[in-house]
Structure formats: structure tokens, C-alpha cells
Amino acid sequence: MILFCISLYACVDLIIKTWVKWDTSPVLVSFARSPTPVWQVPFPAITICSETKARQRVYNFTDAYDRVVHGANMTDEEWKRFSDSSLICDNHLYTSGEKVTGFDTIEYLMSIAPQFEDVFFNCKWTLLNESCDNMFTPILTEDGLCFTFNMLDKSELLRDKVFLHGDYMSHGRNAEGWTLEDGYPKTAKKDTFPRRALSAGFSAGLFLVLKAYEPDLDYICRGPVQGFKILLHHPAEVPRVGTQYFRAPLNQEVVVSVKPDMMTTAPGLRNYDPHRRQCFFPSERYLAYYQSYTQQNCQVECLTNFTLAKCGCVAYHMPHEEYTPICSSGSQMCMFLAKSKLCI
């Protein structure tokens, strides 16, 4: 009887400990029994931003900045151009001016930025020459006008309520059966979209030759480092160039090796509460601006809502509705503080 009671106590104790462990952490992370082929993973979306924000041939920001610093007389039109241009430059350069602006500012910023033909010289996908126009799409980011590759079209990424001034994030090619949860269907073609690599190595990737005109280089707006910012991100996410990127300097070759890190979730976890499993499926969480829930899309939407609440406007690159006020140079400090508080 003594041995039986001791055994019963030990069994009950182990059962209670196991139940507590399952209740506090019901999800276990384990390695897959077999490796995932590279063609089942979408090739990353690539966003390229030039460090030159204003072409000197179109607008000389350095000359305008010198005139402001030395107190030279400037017309209202010159002040308006300088104030609008400061939105894509470092925050400390100019934080005065109007609090809000209109869509004409976005048109102006895009007109002075390096255009498509000023950035791309040659593009190759899997070592096959292809027109860069068919591969890259213009997009608005916190770094101004950028160009993205292999990202979902705005009709599949954004909701209908999001207003985009201009034909940005639109390439007219829909995902051919690919979804964020299920990946590629078994019937997907070799050249499906989003694009995918069919093997490892340089021959199965993307090759680019970028260019910049020396007379257009500006060393005041974004500092002395010239070249390009390059960001790799998921095709179903919007790029956040200011948070993570690597540089491609001028007159240098940069080779990047990508090692995918994919985490899949067992279907049985759908019955668990999201707060218990510590994650959401893309279809479980509704976002006001994005059709698919991801952590990064959620963070961008949260920053947009917080900025609108604190500053009464949103940055020109943030998702917004048509009549939402756009922040001007006078709201740059407010936007910076809102971003800092949200990160904390």
C-alpha cells in the first residue's frame, strides 16, 4: 500500500506538471523531417532606393539649403519647393513650414527623384536578359521613390479604401494560385508569380546593373554616402527601407546570398486561441489597409494610426484614405516622436 501510494502520487505529480507545461506553452517548434525544396519558397521581393533624392539637373537642394542657412531672400514658390524636398531628406535639415500639404507635393517629390531610366542599366533573371520595365515597379517609401521586384500587386496587397496618388505598386500581374498560408499549388507553372528560384546558386537568381549620374549626386540631403539602398522582404509585405537594408556603393560589385528561414504551422493549432499559441494565421486578423495579416504589415498600419492620432496627418508614404491629411515639413518632428514612442 505504501509503494502504491508513492507511485500514485508520483504519477499525479507528473500529470499535473505535464498539463501545466501544455497549458502555458502548447506550441512546440521542431525541425521538419525532410528539407523543403527551394522552388516551394517565393523568391524575396527586392526594393531598390537611390541615395540621390533630388536630381541636381531638376532641383539643386544643396544650393537651396545654402540660401536658407545664409538667410537669402526666397520667393514663396522657392520656399514651397525647399519645404517639400526636405520631406525626403534627413529630419534635422528643416522642420519648419506648414503642418499639412496636398497631393501636389507627392507629384513634385516624384518628379525630382531619379527616374526609372536613371537607375537601371541591365536586368537579368536566371541569367536571361529581361526588360527592367517588366520586373520592377515604382513604389513610395520613407526614402521617396523606389522600385520593387516580385512584390504583390496593389490589388492583392492593399484594400480598396487605400488611396494611392499615381500608378504606384501596380504591375498588373496577379498571384497565380499562390497564397501566404498554402504557398504554391502543385499545378503552378515554372514561370509563375510570385517568381521563385528553381535551384540554388547565382544562375537561378537576379542580376542587376545600376547606374547614377555624377552631376545629379547630392551630398547634403542624405549625407556623403552615395549609391543605393537594397532591401529584401516578403512579397506579401510592404518594404520598410529605413529599418533594415544593405548598401550597394557606386563602382562596386555586391553579391548577396539568401538563406530562407520558413516556419510552418500544423493545422491542428487552428483550434487553439491565438493568445495561447502566440501567433495569428494570416486570415485570422483583420487589417484596415492590408488584405493579408503579417507582423510587418500590422506594424506599418499601427504606426500609421498612431501618427494620425498624434499629428493629425500621415506621412506621404503611409497607407491612407483619399481625404486623410498629408504631413508636411512642419510635422516632421511630430512624426519622428510618434515613431519613437511607438517603438518604445
Chain position carrying cell 536586368: 123
Share of the chain above pLDDT 70, in %: 97
233-260 mean pLDDT:
89
3-state secondary structure of 307: helix
What is the Cα–Cα distance from 282 to 184, expressed in whole angstroms?
Answer: 16
Helices (H) and strands (E) in the chain — how many of each? 9, 10
| Residues contacting 88, CB < 8 A, separation 6+ | 53, 54, 109, 113, 143, 144, 221
Buried b vs exposed e over 199-216: b needs ≥16 C-beta within 10 Å? eeeeebbbbbebebeeeb
What is the Cα–Cα distance from 80 to 83, expressed in whole angstroms?
Answer: 5
Q: Locate the domains of the chain by residue range.
A: 39-251
What is the Cα–Cα distance from 45 to 259, expressed in whole angstroms?
Answer: 14
Q: How many CA atoms lie within 13 A of 266 on its CB side?
A: 12
Lowest mean pLDDT among 249-253, 259-263, 308-312: 259-263
**pLDDT > 70? residue 216:** yes
* Residue 122 binned pLDDT confidence (cut-offs 50, 70, 90): very high
Q: How many CA atoms lie within 13 A of 73 on its CB side?
A: 0
Of residues 118 and 31, more confidently modeled? 118
What is the Cα–Cα distance from 265 to 31, expressed in whole angstroms?
Answer: 12
In angstroms, the Cα distances linking 56 to 78, 87, 215, 249, 315 are 15, 17, 7, 19, 24
Lowest mean pLDDT among 61-75, 76-90, 327-341: 327-341
- Residue 113's DSSP bridge partners are none
34-60 mean pLDDT:
89
What is the Cα–Cα distance from 65 to 222, expressed in whole angstroms?
Answer: 13
In angstroms, the Cα distances linking 277 to 30, 298, 338 are 15, 18, 30
What is the Cα–Cα distance from 193 to 185, expressed in whole angstroms?
Answer: 12
| Residues contacting 85, CB < 8 A, separation 6+ | 53, 54, 59, 61, 64, 109, 112, 221
| Length of the chain (residues) | 344
What is the Cα–Cα distance from 169 to 153, expressed in whole angstroms?
Answer: 6
For 168-190, write each residue's pLDDT tens digit.
888 888 888 898 888 898 888 88
Closest CA to 145 of 108, 174, 172: 108
Of residues 28 and 52, more confidently modeled? 52
Chain position carrying cell 519645404: 83
The CATH number of domain 39-251, selected from 2.60.470, 3.90.550, 2.60.120, 2.60.40 = 2.60.470
